[in-house]
Every structure is written in structure tokens, then in C-alpha cells.
Amino acid sequence: MKSWPSPFIPAVPGTGLPVRVHDNASGAVRELTPDGTARMYVCGITPYDATHIGHAATYVTFDLLGRALRDAGHEVLYVQNVTDVDDPLLVRARRDGVRWQALADMEIALFREDMTALGVIAPDYYIGAVEGVPSVVKVVTDLLNSGTAYRVELPEGEGAAEACDIYFDLSSTPDFGSVSLWDRDQMMAVYAERGGDPERAGKLDALDPLLWRAARAGEPSWPGGDLGDGRPGWHIECTTIALDYLGMTFDVQGGGTDLVFPHHEMSAVQACGITGISPFARAYVHQAMVGLDGQKMSKSKGNLVLVSTLRGSGIDPMAIRLAVLAHHYRTPWEWTGQTLLDAQQRLATWRAGLSGNGGPSADSTIARIRECLANDLDAPGALAAVDEWVTASLEQEGTDPGGLELVGIELGAPGLVGRALDALLGIRL
Ligand code: ZN
């Protein structure tokens, strides 16, 4: 699937530090140690509604990680999926009386525009669930043949007489639980509300995830060979796309904290079941939730701040990106009107501070930005380093408009800081 145009990344003198991030599976901040190319998979959207600030935070965070890895000397191979067929999309399309493909196409187009505006580097592979169906069919067939998946008859009156849904047998692998580190009670408490079907009769274990949903009347389906017509479950979509384009074992599996369980847990355990190799990813990195008015921002609650709405009202996308970067990715935060005002003020101050030909030396500021990013993506720390440089620059201008007579002023320093902002933080002034 077509992604979006990537921004140009200017060169910055020097090299970034090895990058450390928080890995959920080990519960610790760990250094990423890619074997040459860093391989990253980030779960994409289900395109039934527009990009909200919580999504923006997720994709900006992993964009920041990709930039830090590039700056540290790695090539980055980045894969993102788009769940362009799944229950929420079908339900929304039915509710709104539109074709599900048309709804998906429209929201994916809007997502591309939002990502472009926010300066997010495009994935190397942007893969839709529909594109991945042949891989899912092959993998699920193999799992059935090896006895790690099983058939469950359809409820009375649903689907064709011989049709069966297919589930993964969690008891077949010892890896279950190694990503979330949750106990069974924690898992059961959220499984149903996060797309699971613990009540489904005929499953061996209430938590066993759906691999293949047999065709139902009024739902899209694809030929599944021995599986029968149907469509992929959500988790196996990401398992197969990651295996196809990155392979075992890749460096970073990313997404929001609401994906820790069941999505990332199930994606990983299925991959281990398919390949016999563990782990799926070396680090599982998660963006904290962004709230609004004291609640998690979510489609189901309807309390969304949309990137496209902000852009449509004339807000500079770089101010939106700065508003996101002002918060550490692991700390939940709330979007308020003040959040945006602060970011707009900071953007204006930075533009003023970077508008001259000379300024304080850029070296230590660039070094601090790199240190902060390498230290578990401390974006607020990096912003503070830039704030200090800008303040010093503006003070120098105020002292001597000619500037160059003063000791400590370097010609070209604003250009260097500007390139660092662009390359490392994705902020174009
Ligand atoms: Zn995913």
C-alpha cells in the first residue's frame, strides 16, 4: 500500500549515541543493539476514524526513535500495518451506511496527510491487512497441520454448514505472558473490551486468540483454501506482516500502551508458535495514553482531538508536533488548550532565536539533544536544551544587534541548531 512522502533529513555533524528505551518484556530501560540495520514494527491504525492526538503521539514517538537510530549510524527498516478490514471498521461502515472500503480509503488518505504534515518519516513497508491475507492463509494452514491451531464450529445460524473459525492454542507455547508480564486475572479483566471473545463456546482456553474468522453473511471474506472462506483475526495480521517484512527476531515492536495486551502479547506468542523461535522482538516499546478532560482519548468515548481538525483551523503542524514532544512518551498526559498555546509560543520563540546569522555555539546543545534522545527518548529534555540555546541567542541579540563583536558568537550556529531540530526532532522552522 502507498505510504506518504518522507521529509528530507539534513546531515548533522557528529554521531548520535546508542539508543536506550523501555522494554515492557524486561520491565527495564535497555540499550538497543541492532545488528546493522535496525528493524522496527509499529502497529498502525484501524481506519474507521481520523487521527487523534493519541495516534499522533504514538507515531511521533516512533519517528523520534527512528531518527535517533539513524543518527546513531543505523539504517532503519520500518514496517507499519493498517488494519483495513476488522470488526470496528465494518461496524462503523454499517452504522454510517457507507461501503467499508470507501470508509477505509478515506481515513487512510487522511492519515497520510496528517503524517506528512507532522513530518513523520514514512515506513518502508506500509501493509494492509487485506494485502496480507495470502500470508495469513498459509500460516494458519501450517498451524492447523502442526496441531497448534484448532477449529471451532460456528454458532447456530451463522455461516455455512461446514464452516469453522480457527483459534490459536496458547497451551502450545511457553512464551505466553512474556510480553505483558500480566497474570491471568489481569488478562481476563480487559480481554473482552479489547476485541477478545472469552465467552465463545468451544474454545480450549477462554483467552485463545482468533486466527481466521469464517465467512458470515454481509461480511467481506477471501478464499482460504483448506481454511474455507474468511478473513484474518487482528493479531495474526501483525504477526504475519512482521514475519514477512522483518523476520524473527527484530529490534522494536511499538504501539500504544493499550496494545500491550492482548495485541502485542498475542502477536508475539503466535510468531513463536509459527517459527519455534523466541522472542518475537528484542524490545516492546509503548506510548502512554493521551487524555482529554480526565478521560482516555478514544473513539469509543467520542472525546477526540483530531489532527486534521487542528490543521483545518490553521494550526501549524509543527506546533502540534512540539506539543506532543513536550511530554515524555511513557508519561500519560492530558491535552488542553494550554498545551497548544505553550507549543505555539515555543515555536514562535524558537523561530525568533534561530532567525539570525550568528549565535552561541551549537555544539553542546546538539550534544545534549543527542544525550536526551538516547536516554529513553527524553524529548522534553531535548526541548529544554533548545530553549536554553534560544534564550541565550536572543539575549546576545539584545546585547549587541551586530552580534559578531561579542565573544562566544559563532556564525552559522543557528543553521546548525536548525538542522539538528529538523533531523533529530523532526521540527522544521
Ligand atoms: Zn499490530
- Give one DSSP letter per residue of 262-278, joined into a string: IIIHHHHHHHHHHHS-S
- pLDDT > 70? residue 180: yes
Three-state SS across 210-229?
EEEEECCCCCCCECCHHHCC
Interval between CA 149 and ligand 1 midpoint (Å): 20
How far is the C-alpha of 95 from the C-alpha of 41, rounded, in Å? 32
Interval between CA 273 and ligand 1 midpoint (Å): 17
What secondary structure does DSSP assign to 47-60, as a single string?
SSS--BHHHHHHHH
Interval between CA 245 and ligand 1 midpoint (Å): 14
Greatest distance between any 2 Cα atoms in the chain:
87
- pLDDT > 60? residue 400: no
For residue range 2-35, list pLDDT tens digits in order: 999 999 999 999 999 999 999 999 999 999 999 9
Interval between CA 357 and ligand 1 midpoint (Å): 46
Q: Where in the chain is the domain with CATH 1.20.120.640?
A: 309-425
CATH topology of domain 309-425: Four Helix Bundle (Hemerythrin (Met), subunit A) (1.20.120)
Interval between CA 368 and ligand 1 midpoint (Å): 33
Interval between CA 242 and ligand 1 midpoint (Å): 9
Share of the chain above pLDDT 90, in %: 90
- pLDDT > 80? residue 302: no
For residue range 120-134, list pLDDT tens digits in order: 999 999 999 999 999
Burial of 367 (0-12, 13-18, 19+ CB in 10 A): middle
Confidence at residue 399, expressed as pLDDT on a 0 to 100 scale: 67
Interval between CA 361 and ligand 1 midpoint (Å): 43
* Host H or E run for residue 389: helix 379-399
Interval between CA 347 and ligand 1 midpoint (Å): 33
For residue range 248-296, list pLDDT tens digits in order: 999 999 999 999 999 999 999 999 999 999 999 999 999 999 998 777 7
For residue range 89-103, list pLDDT tens digits in order: 999 999 999 999 999
User: Nearest 5 degrees, angle CA 399-CA 405-CA 406?
Assistant: 55
- Banded model confidence at residue 408, pLDDT cuts 50, 70, 90: confident
Interval between CA 31 and ligand 1 midpoint (Å): 23
Burial of 1 (0-12, 13-18, 19+ CB in 10 A): middle
Confidence at residue 82, expressed as pLDDT on a 0 to 100 scale: 97
Report residue 370 as a C-alpha cell: 543527542
Interval between CA 43 and ligand 1 midpoint (Å): 4
Interval between CA 235 and ligand 1 midpoint (Å): 6
For residue range 50-89, list pLDDT tens digits in order: 889 999 999 999 999 999 999 999 999 999 999 999 999 9
Interval between CA 239 and ligand 1 midpoint (Å): 8
| Residue range 20-296, CATH number | 3.40.50.620
Between 357 and 418, where is the model more confident?
Answer: 418
Q: Which 3 state secondary structure label does DSSP give 170? A: helix
Interval between CA 282 and ligand 1 midpoint (Å): 16
Q: Where in the chain is the domain with CATH 3.40.50.620?
A: 20-296
- Banded model confidence at residue 301, pLDDT cuts 50, 70, 90: confident
- Banded model confidence at residue 297, pLDDT cuts 50, 70, 90: confident
Confidence at residue 397, expressed as pLDDT on a 0 to 100 scale: 77
What global pTM score does this model have? 0.95
Report residue 184 as a C-alpha cell: 491471568
Interval between CA 152 and ligand 1 midpoint (Å): 24
Mean pLDDT of the chain: 95
Interval between CA 126 and ligand 1 midpoint (Å): 12
